[in-house]
Amino acid sequence: MDVELNVVEKLENVYAQEGVVITTDKGTIIAISERILSVTGYAKEQVIGRSLRTLFSHSFAVDDEAIWTHLQTHARWQGEVCLHSPTVSRRKQVTVDVVWCEEVRTKLYVWQLADVPEAEYVVEAIYKASPIAIVELSRTMNVRYWNEAAEQLFGWKKEDIIDQPLFSFLQCHPSYMQSMFEQTAQGEPLTFECTARRKNGEVLYLACSALAIAYNEHIQGYIVTINDITKMRQKEIEHGKQVELAKKIQQSVLTPLLQHDTITMDAIYIPSEELSGDLYACYQIDDHRFGMMIIDVMGHGLSSSLISMSLRSLLRGLILRVVDPVSVALELEKHLQNLFPEKELEIHYLFSMIYLVIDTKQRKIEYINAGHPFGLMLTNDGEITELDKGGLAIGSPFSAPFEKGVVHYDKRTRLFLYTDGILEAIDSSILTSLTKIRRFLKNYHHLSDQQFLRLLVDHHVRQPHPADDICLLSITIQEW
């Protein structure tokens, strides 16, 4: 291509201080600055009219096709190359601008070369060695640098992504994230999680940290480090599904509620985020006796839920066969010891419970409270009795005999049993929570069991998944 000399001289003069090579769209050199000639040792006559590859290292031959492809749709390309001659090889920062020359009505390509500062070598070495994806952004959030780890993570080559906006591959709200990024100018990094898609369409879960590059209090760009947390998130999602399934199984084995001429009842079970060990059970022993139990296994997680399921499998046969509260407690103690022989225990597993037997013929309630928040019994005259007799929690490392409690009634009576999750939900002070429950029981004892429990939850449980399981049991003994 013949290009008038004065056009080339104008372009060369504009960019001369940078160190410039001007080429045609075929990569043929038509102008070169003295600065580059002095570095390479070539004379101008040796390079004018020759391919740009003459000046650059052999690796450029691999990359130049991608550069030219990029320049077909973009007005600029930035990167690095090695200037090469028989005597020298030096890294240079390169910016290629596509310039339309009206005088000759054609595009020219201006290759501006600048020295790479020594500190840049150190930074680049860190970028290259990093197993974490590192992305450098311009002030307008376009990609300026894309390390090898980023290429491996996203599947996009550097030449595909340079000058592209950050949000072309990260799935974040652009305007919100732009404002958040700007806040990092004060020196505090921004950390956030988001999703993205690899080049092949695969979804990635990412943990990112961003910090502004500021000079004289003006933001020049941003550095973003990106960690792939996809496997961790997928495990968490799968674990969450398994936990939800386990919760449903736990709830499905809660016993049906008893409805009788002399006794009505209702229950509410609100699971926490974690698996836990709360459960209730109720059985009709004979025509005038009813066994009710509420249990809270120590701790949270899989072990607590498995212990509660193990206990649940015993309760029907145990209550119908043994009946007596102290004897039932001793049998449960023995079962827990068989599950976890002392020599195999690294920690002690234990659970609290209230078990009571309502005898409507003799109008009495026999019960045992094994380390559990005391149950409440309210009669129609407003008197509240605490069901607090019993002993230590089942499985306690300390030994103490169990004591059976016995209370009598002769009017309509409301029994309220609960686990400690409701106490934590009502107030941080256990005493305050107990006071509120007593007041609530007195004020609303006229409601049905279901209405009473529903109102209690509506008033005091603000979260769909509280910190601890909540198990509530309301039992009404009707007046004859």
Where would I find the H helices in 102-169?
A: 118-129, 148-154, 158-161
Residue 313 in this model has a pLDDT that exceeds 90: no
Q: What is the pLDDT of residue 92?
A: 77
Q: What would the two tokens of residue 374 be?
A: 């005391």
Burial label for 442, CB within 10 Å (0-12, 13-18, 19+), is middle
Residue 461 in this model has a pLDDT that exceeds 60: yes
Mean pLDDT score, 453-475: 87
Mean pLDDT score, 164-175: 81
Beta strand 278-284 pairing with 170-171: unpaired
Flag the least confident range among 217-226, 269-278, 443-452. Answer: 269-278
Residue 274 in this model has a pLDDT that exceeds 80: no
Q: What is the pTM of this model?
A: 0.58
Radius of gyration of the chain (CA): 39
Residue 116's pLDDT band, with cuts at 50, 70 and 90, is low
* Residue written as token pair 């491996």: 152
Average of per-residue pLDDT values in the chain: 84
Mean pLDDT score, 433-440: 94
Instruction: For residues 322 and 99, give the distance between their C-alpha atoms in angstroms, rounded to a whole number.
Output: 96
Flag the least confident range among 149-153, 312-316, 418-422, 431-435. Answer: 312-316
Greater confidence (115 vs 470) lies with: 470
| 214 alpha-carbon distance from chain centroid | 31
| 441 alpha-carbon distance from chain centroid | 39
Residue 6's pLDDT band, with cuts at 50, 70 and 90, is low
pLDDT in tens, 207-222: 999 988 876 667 778 8
Q: What is the pLDDT of residue 129?
A: 80
Greater confidence (360 vs 90) lies with: 360
Per-residue CA distances from 166 to 90, 208, 223, 301, 316 (Å): 31, 12, 11, 40, 62
CB 99 within 8 A of CB 109: yes
Where would I find the H helices in 220-284?
A: 230-252
- Mean pLDDT is highest, among 89-98, 100-109, 426-435, for 426-435
Mean pLDDT score, 313-320: 90
What domains are defined for the chain? 5-116 (3.30.450.20), 119-228 (3.30.450.20), 254-477 (3.60.40.10)
Q: What is the pLDDT of residue 173?
A: 76
Q: What would the two tokens of residue 372 be?
A: 């559990």
Greater confidence (232 vs 80) lies with: 232
Long-range contacts of 302-309 (CB under 8 A, 24+ apart): 302/246, 302/275, 303/349, 304/275, 304/276, 304/277, 305/246, 305/250, 305/275, 305/276, 305/277, 307/277, 307/336, 307/339, 307/349, 307/351, 308/250, 308/276, 308/277, 308/278, 308/279, 308/351, 309/250, 309/253
Selection from 347, 254, 370 nearest residue 301 by Cα: 347
